[in-house]
């Protein structure tokens, strides 16, 4: 047992672990479960009592709290406990390194001899800290003063951008959470990041379908199909760029089939566009717009350039032309669906990163 602040060992507080390094009798992992009924159990015991004014605050060290459940971080992390100190690293892990020097000699000793040897080593560690404390204290004070200036400037810059009403609300929530923390640790959940899953493209499409619309009923589904066709165009452009005329026959056949399928989908969208865009709609408008768009790279596709044909979307047709016809609702619907499309892409990126991190942890790191 050692102090988490100065790292000095507590005299005569050494015990043998059961079955090697089993820490079940004194592990920090029990704090979130054991501390809930600790006071009640002590007061109901006839042989144990708490001194008057003593307040036991349960906490989990930062290095270990991230291995617990996500709700343990706001409820038991030392970051949110007023007056709790933060040290550089974990105290016990750094102290064990000095004890490991004599651990081979202590393995073959009897229990009293081993306790005496380790106790002497711990007392020597405390003595060295005492005689060198003034030097390290001066160094740490200088570092702390410099860090305090930087942290204060960063906090003031962030705090000045928050409205006064919001700061007062946060202060009230903080006071209430700290007062209710010992009785209900869930009161500290206000410190946790409140994550809300962004709406997907399908959920936004369902909301748009329920919009009150008479002559434009079905426009949300039509726009969603057009966005899917646009995604297929991008994928076909990538495949066509990678597969040139000297590619394998199977690859060329796959691109040709994709071309046929995409062409039929584009034809269906162009035909149904007149229902929502009116009789003045001409598919030649998209051809003229497409000729003015510069591609990032030239596509060499022996089967045609269907992937460069623009789908009949309001963003390609033009907002001004649609506003003249009173079809601003199509612009709003496309913008909403594109936001859902971006949310889906970000979700896929998160899943890909999580998959790569698991592979790195299980395969690469162990190797």
Residue 7 forms part of a structural domain: no
> What confidence score (pLDDT) does residue 299 get?
46
**What is the tally of helices (H) and strands (E) in the chain?**
15, 0
**Whether 42 and 67 share a structural domain:** yes
Q: What is the pLDDT of residues 32-72, one digit of tens each?
A: 677 777 778 888 888 888 888 888 888 887 777 877 788 88
204 has pLDDT over 80:
yes
What's the angle, vertex CA 9, arms to CA 7 and CA 11, rounded to 5?
155
Residue 4 forms part of a structural domain: no
> What confidence score (pLDDT) does residue 303 get?
44
Burial class, 284, CB count within 10 angstroms (exposed 0-12 / middle 13-18 / buried 19+): exposed
**Whether 75 and 173 share a structural domain:** yes
> What confidence score (pLDDT) does residue 148 get?
92
Domain boundary among 191, 216, 243: 191
**Whether 44 and 175 share a structural domain:** yes
The candidate with the shortest Cα–Cα distance to 17, out of 105, 96, 120, is 96
Domain boundary among 160, 191, 222: 191
**Whether 156 and 229 share a structural domain:** no
238 has pLDDT over 60:
yes
Domain boundary among 159, 191, 223: 191
Q: What is the pLDDT of residues 185-202, one digit of tens each?
A: 888 888 887 777 888 888
The residue assigned the tokens 């003034």 is: 134
Residue 238 has φ and ψ, to the nearest 5°, of -65, -45
Residue 354 forms part of a structural domain: yes
**Whether 332 and 209 share a structural domain:** yes
**Whether 115 and 224 share a structural domain:** no
Residue 152 forms part of a structural domain: yes
Residue 196 forms part of a structural domain: no
**Whether 213 and 115 share a structural domain:** no
**Whether 214 and 179 share a structural domain:** no
Residues 110/67, Cβ–Cβ less than 8 Å: no
First-to-final CA distance of the chain: 35
pTM above 0.75, yes or no: no
> What confidence score (pLDDT) does residue 150 get?
93
pLDDT confidence band for 302 (50 / 70 / 90): very low
Residues 28/61, Cβ–Cβ less than 8 Å: yes
> What confidence score (pLDDT) does residue 18 get?
58
Q: What is the domain extent for residue 215?
A: 201-291+302-364
307 pairs with which residues across the strands?
A: none
State both tokens at 184. Answer: 């209900």
Residue 9 forms part of a structural domain: no
**How many structural domains are present in the chain?**
2
**Whether 58 and 182 share a structural domain:** yes
222 has pLDDT over 50:
yes
Residues 2/10, Cβ–Cβ less than 8 Å: yes
Helical residues (DSSP H) of 160-308, grouped into ranges: 164-180, 201-209, 219-242, 249-277, 284-291
Residue 229 forms part of a structural domain: yes
**Whether 149 and 73 share a structural domain:** yes
22 pairs with which residues across the strands?
A: 18
Please indicate whether residue 107 or residue 16 has the higher confidence score (pLDDT). Answer: 107
Signed CA dihedral, 32, 36, 39, 43: sign only: negative
Q: Average pLDDT over the chain, rounded to whole?
A: 79
The residue assigned the tokens 């892990």 is: 93
Q: Taking residues 245-271, what's their average pLDDT?
A: 77
**Whether 122 and 220 share a structural domain:** no
> What confidence score (pLDDT) does residue 286 get?
58
Please indicate whether residue 82 or residue 301 has the higher confidence score (pLDDT). Answer: 82
State both tokens at 11. Answer: 């005299």
**Whether 306 and 340 share a structural domain:** yes
Q: How far apart are CA 273 and CA 335, in angstroms?
A: 18
Residue 1 forms part of a structural domain: no
């Amino acid at each position: 047992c050692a102090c988490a602040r100065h790292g000095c060992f507590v005299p005569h507080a050494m015990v043998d672990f059961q079955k090697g390094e089993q820490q079940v009798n004194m592990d920090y992992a029990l704090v979130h479960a054991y501390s809930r009924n600790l006071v009640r159990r002590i007061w109901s015991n006839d042989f144990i009592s708490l001194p008057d004014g003593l307040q036991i605050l349960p906490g989990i060290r930062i290095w270990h709290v991230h291995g617990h459940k996500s709700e343990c971080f706001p409820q038991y992390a030392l970051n949110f406990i007023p007056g709790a100190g933060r040290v550089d690293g974990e105290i016990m892990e750094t102290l064990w390194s000095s004890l490991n020097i004599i651990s081979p000699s202590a393995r073959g000793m009897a229990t009293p001899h081993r306790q005496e040897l380790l106790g002497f080593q711990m007392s020597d560690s405390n003595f060295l800290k005492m005689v060198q404390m003034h030097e390290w204290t001066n160094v740490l004070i200088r570092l702390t003063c410099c860090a305090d200036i930087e942290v204060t400037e960063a906090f003031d810059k962030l705090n000045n951008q928050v409205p006064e009403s919001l700061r007062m609300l946060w202060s009230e929530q903080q006071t209430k959470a700290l007062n209710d923390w010992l009785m209900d640790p869930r009161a500290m959940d206000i410190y946790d990041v409140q994550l809300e899953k962004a709406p997907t493209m399908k959920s936004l499409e369902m909301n748009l379908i329920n919009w009150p619309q008479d002559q434009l009923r079905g426009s949300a589904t039509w726009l969603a199909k057009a966005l899917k066709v646009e995604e297929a165009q991008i994928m076909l452009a990538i495949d066509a760029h990678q597969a040139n005329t000297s590619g394998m026959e199977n690859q060329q056949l796959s691109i040709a089939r994709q071309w046929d399928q995409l062409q039929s989908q584009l034809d269906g969208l162009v035909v149904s566009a007149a229902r929502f865009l009116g009789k003045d709609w001409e598919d030649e408008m998209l051809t003229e717009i497409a000729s003015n768009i510069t591609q990032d790279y030239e596509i060499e596709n022996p089967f045609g350039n269907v992937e460069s044909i623009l789908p009949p979307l309001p963003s390609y047709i033009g907002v001004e032309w649609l506003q003249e016809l009173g079809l601003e609702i199509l612009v709003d619907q496309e913008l909403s669906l594109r936001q859902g499309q971006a949310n889906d892409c970000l979700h896929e990126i998160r899943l890909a990163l999580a998959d790569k991190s698991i592979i790195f942890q299980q395969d690469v790191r162990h190797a």
